Structure 1
Amino acid sequence: MLLLALGLAWLLAKEIILIYVSALFAAVLMPIVNHIMQIKVRGRRTSKAAAIFLIVSGMGLVVGIFLTVGLPPVVHDLNQFSAELPTRIPKMMSRVNQLPIANRLGVNEIAQRAEGAFTTAASYLMTSLPNWLSHLFDILSAIFLCIYFMLEGDRAYRFALSLVPTLYRDRLGRTLERADKKIGKWLVGQGLLMLILGISSTIVFAVLHVRYFLLLGFLMGLFNIIPIAGGVFTITLSAIVAAFDSWTKLAGVVIFYLLYLNVENAYLTPRIMGSSVELSGLTILIALLCGTALAGVVGALVAVPTAALIAVILEEYAVQKDAV
């Protein structure tokens, strides 16, 4: 029986990860749903379905603004660059060939390889389109699963607990409720940090006249949900974009991020996050490595709340506390 269960888990690994991620996000979003449900409209409290609709609509609005405002300039510049590339390469090569060391560097061979690389990249994008569509289907499936978990999560939770023997059921229920509160506090705090970073970086990038400042600000806030790795990725991307314009903009972007890191670590995180997760830096790094290895970006996204859940369970069932 155990071997059969392990075999099924191996075959359905992708679907199990999808269900787990959806259930986890539903669990951490439920405090927001419950808070919205306390709001009274004409003397009546908001229903759960209406609260979930407001959350999904808000997220859809943010994504819509991103697609209509932040993304089109990037697509336009990429199309223009690809259209002008065939005419730019010969001009660049003629200038480089005038250098005395051009023959030693093998410039012509490098250009041929670069042209072949562009062709390979274009063909890869065309052949990988079905994979991108598959990922899009997974994202939509996760969204719908998350909505259903928020709508019917209480019933599923009670059913899962009913499978546990009565002797251990109350203790497990209290442990999971404590973990749920801790993860919910982490999500709210992380959401505030994401919002602050996204708004502040967008304003600073706009003042510095960095290209695609709306897109970069959105990505800075969004990827801040992934500790360490998200910040490294977004600041590197922002620095590269700024460097295409001038070294002054590059220096401004780096200085802003270093100042923000100090403000966040010294002031924002202690006051916003407090002791919501209580995980050491080493634990977070290990969780990120394991989550990324198991499920890529999605695994990194849920690594910290999963580590918090495991920490609460270990604290309750495995940690041997000294007798007072």
Structure 2
Amino acid sequence: MALAPITVQPTPSPEQTRTNARANIIFAVGVFLLLALAWKLSKELEIIYVSALFAVVLMPIVVKITKLNIRGWHPSRPVAIVALIAAVALALTLFFTIGLPPVLRDIKSFSDDLPQKLPLIVAKIKKVPMADKIGIDSIAARAENAAAATASYLFSSLPLWLSHVFDLLTAAFLCIYFMLEGEHAYEFFLSLFSFDSRRRLDATLKKAELKMSKWLLGQGLLMLILGICSVIVFGILHVRYFVLLGVLMGILNIIPIAGGVITIILAAGVAALDSWPKMFGVLIFYAIYINIENAVLTPRIMKSSVDLMGLTVLVALLIGTALAGIVGALVAVPTAALITVLLDEYAVQRDSHA
């Protein structure tokens, strides 16, 4: 049996060793400088990322507008973007003039009524067996202080929110530019990879774009439906603060299971302060709605999107909120969808026999 020849690797010369060492040092310094620059420009990079993400989510709508046939005329992309901006501006105007004032009024009424309502709540809870064992009086005092502090924060921090208007306008203009010229930046990004890797990455990113836009638009529609239905039903039942509770029902619907449970407990508790029939009416409404959503709305609205696990959504919201507050919460789920698709394509090892 012949032995395979042993290949001896040539020993690098001292000059090559010094060259490799210099290259490694320069690379390490370059990475450090890039990280330092990213840390210095973290706010600007956050605005750019949010703008690009919203451009990706909104581009399918722009494409659909350009495909409209109006007596043989198809809107160009700039015209489609202007139409989309007009629709968004109209929706925001209606919200700030019609939807926001009742919510603020309900928040003010809730913060004013809480000191008078809290003793009644405590008295009803004390009638429950074993309630005195959990220190309900101290819990009630803490709840009153927390509610008062929250209401005070919402009104006192309004000027601080308004100070970020410039950042919002910057993000909006960047989003418009990304929708107009994003394809060129995308092609340049792909050109940094080899041809084979470029094709695979392009297909993966397009799949992620579809998932992000479909999931976010579908979830937004479900939140809107629940919010409107809740406001109407709570208003018919004459539940206090029905506008605020309906808005909370819609917003927190983005959190799977937990969001609905928290809001329905809150709505049922507020209704129970007036009468038990109102509380049962709220619970019956939610039981009917959740069955309709699971059986009819979700399969029809979300059928074209790739499902995200509830745990993924919850973890993404927690991390996004911790990193960037409200802005992080807005982009958390689309970012999770992007990461999920990339991991599924490049990291997940599948059994070829399965």
Q: TM-score range by the shorter chain?
A: 0.7 to 0.9
Candidates 217, 236, 252, aligned match of 1:207:
236
Aligned to 2:66: 37
Aligned to 2:22: none
Structure 2 counterparts to residues 291-310 of structure 1, below 5 A: 291-310=320-339
Aligned to 2:125: none
1:68 matched to 2:97? The reply is yes
Q: 1:202 aligns to what SS in structure 2?
A: helix
Q: Deviations over 1:273-314 (max 9, x none)?
A: 136223323322322222222222332332222222111111
Distance in 1, Cα, partners of 2:154 & 2:332: 30
Distance in 2, Cα, partners of 1:138 & 1:244: 42
Structure 2 counterparts to residues 86-165 of structure 1, below 5 A: 126=156, 128=157, 130-165=159-194
Distance in 1, Cα, partners of 2:288 & 2:332: 27
Q: Unmatched 5+ residue regions in structure 1?
A: 93-109
1:180 matched to 2:186? The reply is no
Structure 2 counterparts to residues 280-299 of structure 1, below 5 A: 280-299=309-328
More moved, 26-35 vs 66-75: 66-75
Aligned to 2:38: 9
- Tell whether the 8 Å contact from 2:57 to 2:209 is kept in structure 1 after alignment: yes
- Tell whether the 8 Å contact from 1:225 to 1:301 is kept in structure 2 after alignment: no
Q: 1:43 aligns to what SS in structure 2?
A: coil
Distance in 2, Cα, partners of 1:307 & 1:19: 18
Distance in 2, Cα, partners of 1:226 & 1:232: 10
Aligned to 1:190: 219
Distance in 1, Cα, partners of 2:153 & 2:325: 24
- Tell whether the 8 Å contact from 2:214 to 2:302 is kept in structure 1 after alignment: yes
Q: Deviations over 1:105-124 (max 9, x none)?
A: xxxxx99xx99x97998699
Aligned to 2:75: 46
Q: Rg larger in 1 or in 2?
A: 2
Q: Deviations over 1:59-92 (max 9, x none)?
A: 322222222223334555777899999xx99xx9
Aligned to 1:276: 305
Q: Give the aligned residue type for 2:343.
A: L
- Tell whether the 8 Å contact from 2:102 to 2:243 is kept in structure 1 after alignment: no
- Tell whether the 8 Å contact from 2:106 to 2:243 is kept in structure 1 after alignment: no
1:59 matched to 2:88? The reply is yes
More moved, 306-315 vs 64-73: 64-73
Q: Give the aligned residue type for 2:285.
A: F
- Tell whether the 8 Å contact from 2:227 to 2:248 is kept in structure 1 after alignment: yes
Alpha carbons of structure 1 residues 238 and 61: separation in structure 2 relative to 1, 3 Å? farther
Q: Deviations over 1:154-186 (max 9, x none)?
A: 122112222333342121111101111122221
Q: Deviations over 1:118-175 (max 9, x none)?
A: 799869955x455222333333332222222222221221122223333421211111
Aligned residues: 300
Alpha carbons of structure 1 residues 49 and 320: separation in structure 2 relative to 1, 3 Å? same
TM-superposed CA distance for 1:238, in Å, is: 4.3
Q: Unmatched 5+ residue regions in structure 2?
A: 1-29, 120-139
Distance in 1, Cα, partners of 2:288 & 2:55: 34
1:319 matched to 2:348? The reply is yes
Q: 1:44 aligns to what SS in structure 2?
A: coil
Q: Give the aligned residue type for 2:328.
A: G
Aligned alpha-carbon RMSD (Å):
3.6
Which TM-score applies when normalising by structure 1?
0.76
Q: Give the aligned residue type for 2:235.
A: A
Which TM-score applies when normalising by structure 2?
0.70
Alpha carbons of structure 1 residues 22 and 222: separation in structure 2 relative to 1, 3 Å? farther
TM-superposed CA distance for 1:30, in Å, is: 0.9
Q: Give the aligned residue type for 2:292.
A: V
Alpha carbons of structure 1 residues 220 and 37: separation in structure 2 relative to 1, 3 Å? farther
Aligned to 1:100: none
Distance in 1, Cα, partners of 2:149 & 2:251: 32
TM-superposed CA distance for 1:216, in Å, is: 4.4
1:221 matched to 2:221? The reply is no
TM-superposed CA distance for 1:221, in Å, is: 3.3
